[in-house]
Amino acid sequence: MTVRHQTMEEEQKRLDETLHVIDEEISLLREDLKEATDDYVKQVVNQKKAKELHYLERYGREKPYFGRIDFRKHESDDLDQVYIGKQGIVRSDTFDSIVVDWRAPIAGLYYSGESQDAFFRTKNGIVRGEVQLKRNFAIEKGKITGIYDGALKETIHREMGMPDEFLEEGYIDEFLAASLNQTNDSRLKDIVATIQSEQNDIIRAEKDRVIIVQGVAGSGKTTIALHRLSYLIYNYQDTVASKKFMVFAPNKLFLHYISEVLPELGVDDVQQSTFLEWAAKLAKPLLPKGWRVIDPNKLLTLFFEEAPEEERNNAWKRLHFKGSVACKQTLHAYLGHLINERITYQDLRFMYNKTKHVFSIKGEEIRHIFTESLANLPYRSRVETLRRQLKQELNKQVYTHLREQKIDLDKQGLARFEKMIEQRLDQYLAEWPSPDIFAAYREVMTDAEFLRRLAPEEIDNDTIAIITGSTADIFARERVEAEDIAPLLYLKQLLEGFGSTEQFDHAVVDEAQDLSALEIAIVTLLTKRKSVTIVGDIAQGIHAYRGLSSWDELRKGIFGGETTEFYKLEQSYRSTVEIMNMANRVLQKIQLPEDVKAKPVLRHGKEPEMIRYEERAAMWSDLVERINTLQSEGFQTIALVTKNGDGGKKAYKALHNKVEGISLVSTKDTSFPGGVTIMPAYLTKGLQFDVVILLDGDEDHYAVADADAKLLYVAMTRPVHRLYITAVNRSFSKLLDE
């Protein structure tokens, strides 16, 4: 229900009062920051004040809040009227809270809907009560343009019993509808005003555990992960540092696309990187001098452009193995081989010449300590710990013998015994292997007979031969692949450990389906208390040669019995019902391990258009006219999506002189230009546009196969408002058949 008469004057008055307080706070902060200071404490305080001033001037003055809840406490019967914004605003003279931060505990009530039995947690316990009003505000330049009470889905739930036929398509409240119908520019936006209850559960989940989110296209999983990061920094600021939070994204283009979300949420010093860029720095000291990592973009040519099928298949087997749970098992088997077959575990003995007494520790006892008692430590830490324990045991035997024989040694005599024990331990452990990490990895990955002994049985002999033969060829050129980095680092963990190197307080892994199981394992190993948020969509796994085919690879193969929380986001908020229904039909043509079909919100638009041309010149001419029409209708971002980079170059050559401001985006680009862009489908993942024009949606480009279906699905789920699919003198792909 949109309220425009009964409370508009009252709410506008409250907004005016809030803006007056903000103006006063801005003046005070400016005055406080005028004077420079050498005092460190004052510098820290001023830095905080400068951030507050920046927020109030840039965001707070424009739109200080977006929502309100009225909460009546059961215990005291007090009614709290709470206005909620992106950041909290407090009067510096009275310390009264004018606006509550969306991340604060009480603000969680805003996202959980109206309820007679609501509660929120504080440091002092649980506060129970009733949410009597939930109100949304549309505010522009200090003026309220719309007031929305409650939510349509809650009204349906109360009054109509949630009819199944309505909910099959999803539901949408007026305030959310107004937000979704806006056009898009070149950046991802925050969604603090429209977070839905299922999204809120993920954002506010406990910190110290692995969170895995399977989110359909348009479910807001990227934005949710970033909001969760902001929420954790706010609520755990006494124990975590935002500069120790990391966001892993698929490429630099995507990092640029999300670059404005965190500053808008009050977080501006979080680390952001691709996995390879970060991990390659860790792995560099392990590589022989002069060795380099092959540019991973070359694989895009192999898998998305024209390439010999045998070469593609061989590369798929090699790359997929190197990131798999099977590779993890192989590396553990190497450690087992090292411990059980390359160490003889002889008795440790030495004799005291004066009494001819032999001090000894049985080899089997040493084996038990090393393989059982110290099993949780990396290899080298085991050796160091074992040495200390053996020394302690020998010292104990020596002192016991001296007491029994009533031999009283002076300090020099005891020092000689100490030196004797140290020399004997040096001699004993010198016979144990001390493997170089890269040399060990090279042996595993290039020796077919050795790899066959270590790898799980499901890895067939042909695959073993392909892995070892092609990897040996690559290593002979003093190169490693991007997919070698994660297993190399995992072997470092098994042999040396990481200690406190590059530890994160929390890590977000976005588009996780395109990372390997081992890559995600490395991120988790280097994050304190396994505080990791992993988001992705198996249906969009277009890099299957290195990525995940099922979340079970993580849940069972990597995390095993550890505590993980798994969430599914099935509601799609990006595209219209008509677009999502068509995209869902593409997924029905292939087998997927999990239910990943999207449920679109009840927001209708034009049916997607499939346009067939007799010749390419006619298509270019029509597209120029169509783009001009779309721009005149107010659509800001229009993407012409090709299957690969070569198709994009041809499109740009045909259109760059006819469409003003059109740009070609490739893997080399690090920023997203917005406007009219031409780009390959594999670079669109995670992005969204007002309109997508999918070029060459024909059977020659998109076959009925998993890889093509997922790539087509990715491209089709990028538009918010309109989708067009073209074909030139060819039949449309059978993936698009009704």
**pLDDT range class, residue 172, cuts 50, 70, 90:** very low
Average pLDDT over residues 44-59: 86
Q: pLDDT band for position 680 (50/70/90)?
A: very high
pLDDT at residue 152 tops 60: no
* Contact residues for 481 (Cβ-Cβ < 8 A; gap 6+): 293, 294, 296, 319, 322, 474
CB 596 within 8 A of CB 216: yes
Buried b (16+ CB within 10 A) or exposed e, 239-274: ebebebbbbbbbbbbbbbbbeebbbbbbbeebebeb
pLDDT at 300: 77
Can you give the pLDDT at residue 4? 53
Please state, for a pLDDT cut of 70, what percent of the chain lies above it. 93
- The packing angle between helices 275-283 and 517-525, to 10°, is 70
- CA-closest candidate to residue 509, choices 519, 501, 497: 519
Sign of the Cα pseudo-torsion (695, 697, 699, 704, in order)? positive
Cα R_g (the chain), whole angstroms: 31
- Look at the block and give the residue holding tokens 């190993």: 525
Residues 6 or more apart from 332 whose CB is under 8 A from it? 494
For residues 159 and 145, what is the distance between their CA atoms, to the nearest angstrom?
A: 28
The pLDDT tens digits for 633-665 are: 999 999 999 999 999 999 999 999 999 999 999
* Residues 467-476 pLDDT 10s: 999 999 999 9
Mean pLDDT of 621-641: 97
Confidence of residue 158 (pLDDT cuts 50, 70, 90): very low
Cα(first)–Cα(last) distance of the chain, in Å? 37
Residue partners of 447: CB distance under 8 A and separation at least 6: 468
pTM over cut 0.85:
yes
User: Predicted confidence band at 186 (pLDDT cuts at 50, 70, 90)?
Assistant: low
CA pseudo-torsion sign 27, 33, 35, 39 = positive
How much is the mean pLDDT over the chain? 90
Task: Give the amino acid at 562.
Answer: E
Band of pLDDT at residue 159, cut at 50, 70 and 90: very low
- Residues 433-442: what's their mean pLDDT? 97
- For 138: left if phi > 0, alpha if psi spans -120 to 50, otherwise beta; the answer is beta
- The average pLDDT across 227-231 equals 93
pLDDT digits (tens, 9 = 90+) for 295-315: 988 887 778 877 788 888 999
Q: How far apart are CA 667 and CA 665, in angstroms?
A: 7
Q: What is the pLDDT of residue 42?
A: 82
Range scoring the smallest mean pLDDT among 45-49, 63-67, 77-81, 107-111: 45-49
- Taking the C-alpha atoms of residue 385 and residue 369, their distance in angstroms, rounded to an integer, is 10
Q: How far is CA 445 from CA 451, 461, 489, in A?
A: 7, 14, 14
